[in-house]
Amino acid sequence: MKRRQLVAAFAVAFLTGTATPLWAQDPPPINAATEAAFGRLVAAPAVKQALDLIKADDERTLKEQIELTEIPAPPFKEAARAAEYAKRMKAFGLSDVRIDAEGNVIGIRKGAGRGPVLVVSAHLDTVFPEGTDVKVKVKDNRYAAPGIYDDGRGLASLLSIVRALNQANIRTVGDIMFVGTVGEEELGDLRGVKAFFRDHKNVDGFISFDGIDISRIVNQATGSRRWRIVYTGPGGHSFSAFGLPSATHALGRAIAKIAEVRTPENPRTTFTVGTLKGGTSVNAIAAEAELGLDMRSNSAEELKKLEEKILQLAREAAVEENARWNQKDVIKVDFKLVGDRPAGAGSIDSPMVHAARRGVAAVGGEVKSIMASSTDSNLPISLGIPAVTLGSGGVGGGSHGPGEWYSPVNAWLGPQSELLTIVSLVGLDGVTQPLLPKRAP
């Protein structure tokens, strides 16, 4: 199959409002060090064996993807899936497998002891609430279930790579920490990866498996801030207490003001009032009303500016509602931060990006875009730790919706390219030195 035809097979409507293309021109050529390392890697018998094992393992990997998907893992309730994931990590030979205090599953594959520490992760949680039917339904090689590829595919791909490394007896120079994280989705607010980096200070690089499109790399972090804004007042009967300020009226003023805010197109910066609730009765002046606010940007500076502006507008709405009824400080407004995903930028010319691009090229594909998105990689990027998010192969659609589906079209190419990227970064003992540099203490 020609390269263009192969890349077309990878195409998937994966990208959402959280992802933004970052290059409008050709990226820099893959550097000489990366090319030289991959030349030796792809010729190494152990690496060839590992790639063959991944392809031969394709049906088993899909089976595991289905089995893991059918274990519910709603936000903050990932324990059952975590326990099963830890069991499988141990069965495939990882050492020191444990579930940490936050719920992350961590397993270590030790290297020769002279290289960097690379973390490879996929997230255990889904966006879907408790009680969602996660039974996988199959029709015409199409597998449908909430979470089937976000991040069922990433979890299964990670296990496939662990098996291939062990069965091919690949000895790396650096250590690899394989992690199933909790709290990546929604109000989980990256709690898993935040906890991981609080506990581990010796990490030199980070890879997240999230999504399926191997022709895109995420190395920039779309930051987000989420607030619950609550208006409160005395409330009262709609007729006998008429003249009192209303919490819902203040809320309406706030939304009208927020809706008129203008944001820059570049760096992409967005906002939305996503949820509303309040009041107790149609014939009552509301004593409480609240909105849920989401703000995102590829720039930490622009996100901060937007936040300051919108929160000030929310305060003004309370003042204006009080003034409308010739009152002062009757309606009050309170703010609660419910989400904080840091923004950050990685270099398009970094060893991580070069290795990921070359890994895709080695299996016959081509990286078409480098993206900004909101993933577990946000946290290490914000800390200055080299990080990328990679797709794990196949095609699919409907992410975060009840109709999410996956089809294993050339699916093995995902874990194959990921394995090559990983081994190139930590080095193959006796064959290549790590492309990922160790960070200064």
Q: What is the mean pLDDT of residues 98-122?
A: 97
For position 292, what pLDDT does the model report?
98
Mean pLDDT of 298-324: 97
pTM confidence score: 0.89
Q: What pLDDT, on a 0 to 100 scale, did the predictor assign at position 114?
A: 86
- State mean pLDDT over 146-159: 97
Q: What share of the chain in percent tops pLDDT 70?
A: 94
pLDDT attached to residue 111: 96
pLDDT of residue 113: 86
* Beta carbons of 436 and 425 less than 8 angstroms apart: yes
Average pLDDT over residues 239-258: 98
Per DSSP, helices labelled H in 230-288 are 247-259
Average of per-residue pLDDT across 226-233? 98
Residue with tokens 């009080």: 322
d(CA 211, CA 12): 10
pLDDT of residue 19: 52
Scored b (16 or more CB within 10 A) or e, 314-349 reads beebbebbbeeeeeeebbebeeeeebebbbbbbebe
pLDDT in tens, 376-415: 999 999 999 999 999 999 999 999 999 999 999 999 999 9
DSSP string, 53-65: HHHHTHHHHHHHH
Which residues touch 145 (CB under 8 Å, ≥6 apart)? 66, 69, 70, 134, 135, 136, 137, 152, 404, 405
Q: What is the pLDDT of residue 186?
A: 85
User: pLDDT (tens digit, 9 = 90+) per residue, 34-75?
Assistant: 999 999 999 999 999 999 999 999 999 999 999 999 999 999
State residue 11's pLDDT score: 36
Would you say 109 and 207 are in contact if contact means Cβ atoms under 8 Å apart?
no
Q: Supply 400's token pair.
A: 């975060």
pLDDT of residue 25: 52
Q: Is 370 helix (H, G, I), strand (E, B) or coil?
A: strand
Position 15 scores a pLDDT of 34
Measured CA to CA, the distance from residue 439 to residue 441 in angstroms comes to 6
Answer yes or no: CATH 3.40.630.10 is held by domain 3-221+343-426. yes
163: pLDDT strictly greater than 70: yes
Q: At what angle do helices 413-426 and 152-167 cross, to 10 degrees?
A: 60
Answer yes or no: are the C-beta atoms of 284 and 221 closer than 8 Å. no
* CATH class entry, domain 223-341: alpha beta
Q: Quick one: angle between helices 413-426 and 32-41, nearest 10?
A: 110
Question: pLDDT by residue (tens digit) across 189-213?
Answer: 999 999 999 999 999 999 999 999 9
On average, the pLDDT of the chain sits at 93
pLDDT value of position 95? 86
Contact 96, 108 (CB under 8 A): yes
Q: How many separate helices (H) and strands (E) can be counted in the chain?
A: 12, 20
Domains of the chain: which residue ranges?
Answer: 3-221+343-426, 223-341
Comparing C-alpha atoms, which of 157, 145, 41, 170 is closest to residue 415? Answer: 157
Task: Supply the pLDDT for residue 440.
Answer: 80
Average pLDDT over residues 232-258: 98
Flag whether pLDDT at 1 surpasses 90.
Answer: no
Which of 157, 178, 158, 206 is CA-nearest to residue 110?
178
